[in-house]
Chain A
Amino acid sequence: KDWALVIHGGAGTISKDKPDSVVKAYKNDLSEALAIGEDILKSGGSALDAVENVINYLENNPKFNAGKGAVFTHDGGHELDAAIMLGNTREAGTITGVKTVKNPISLARLVMENSKHVMFAGDGAEKYADKFELERVNQEYFYTEHRHKAWKRALKREKQKDAQSGLMELTPKELKEKYG
């Protein structure tokens, strides 16, 4: 084979009772992402460009947990990670915990191609991004309704769990009082 490409948009307990229209929309977006990479590879473009551009598309698509559509941290913000690696030379670039980089995979590639290091974290990664013409956004950019709801549910579950485990630690006497 001249070229080959595989993509993913995340794995997990993807419920099967999603409406057909939603399933269709997801498959349509996956097909669009695939087409971006196919066009690049078909015309002799590099695997690096195919991987970066496909992932940019998926980062910009609010359906997927990356870039816009990223999940919420405990504190209600967004912290993004990305990595890219070229197997032939084992060059790699990775970043973790960035908050204002619209397309983290593009920063990871800049790390791979411009730094002697492999990994940058948090504020350092943000400062490294300042050296390049990279699109920066504020945290609101990453907001999506469905992730916000998931975050609220997670906080609620955590509170219930804490309350429950808190009760377990009480003595029978305290427990009685607890229920005062």
Chain B
Amino acid sequence: TVGAVAVDKEGQIVAGTSTGGMTNKKFGRVGDVPIIGSGTYASDVVAVSMTGWGEKIMRAVSGHTVSAYMKHKPASLEEAGSYLLEDLLNKGEAGMIAVDKDGNTYMGMNTLGMFRGAADSEGNREVAIWE
């Protein structure tokens, strides 16, 4: 699975995800990626793209959960990401990238690793795989 989230100068906030699914997949099994609100979601406050164990990500309605947590708690993107990855999902199940409407970026995982990268207009730039 691959994904990207971005916010631009006009304030447009977008999430996208694409995947080949799960090895040895049968019976037309569908994972979280194409399920809006689970593996891919964007609201007027945050854009989220997930990767990992699709069934778990779907059951937690992950992308929407992050947005709702930020809006109604209210909470920061950092707090919402931790809530999803540490309270709702279990170790080894998922990685998450997100960006909020103010350009705060988030890359979190409860797996061993996640291929990831982030950059912004203030010159911050990072590429990583493990912690």
Contact = CB atoms under 8 A, between A and B. Distances in A.
Do the two chains bind?
A: yes
Contacts, number: 309
Contact of A5 (B30, B113, B120): B120
Contact of A4 (B18, B21, B35, B121): B121
Secondary structure at the B interface, as helix, strand, loop or mixed, is strand
B106 interface: yes
A34 B21 contact: no
Residue among B2, B3, B17, B36 having the largest count of chain A Cβ atoms under 10 Å: B2
A79 B42 contact: no
Interface residues on A, range: 35 or more
Contacts of A7: 2-4, 97, 116-118
A74 B130 CA distance: 30
Contacts of A16: 112-113, 130
Interface stretch (A57-65, A128-136, A165-173): A57-65
A110 interface: no
Interface string A106-140: 00110000000011011000000000000000000
B60 to A, nearest CB: 15
A9 B120 contact: no
Given A27-B129, A44-B9, A82-B18, A73 B33 contact: no
A64 to B, nearest CB: 5
A78 B20 contact: yes
Contacts of A121: 30
A70 B18 CA distance: 10
A90 B45 CA distance: 11
Interface residues on B, range: 35 or more
B80 interface: no
A41 B4 contact: no
A46 B13 CA distance: 9
A12 B17 contact: no
Contact of A155 (B9, B24, B103, B130): B24
A71 B52 CA distance: 14
B84 interface: no
B34 A95 contact: yes
B15 A85 contact: yes
A176 interface: no
Given A71-B22, A151-B23, A65 B47 contact: no
B11 to A, nearest CB: 7
Closest 3 CB pairs of A and B: A70-B20, A11-B95, A1-B103
Interface of B: 1-26, 28, 30-31, 33-36, 39-47, 49, 51-52, 92, 94-95, 97-99, 101-107, 109, 111-122, 125, 127-130
24 contacts: A1-B102, A1-B121, A3-B9, A4-B6, A5-B99, A10-B115, A11-B94, A11-B115, A14-B130, A34-B127, A44-B8, A48-B12, A52-B16, A55-B2, A55-B18, A65-B1, A71-B22, A83-B36, A85-B40, A85-B42, A90-B42, A108-B34, A147-B23, A150-B23
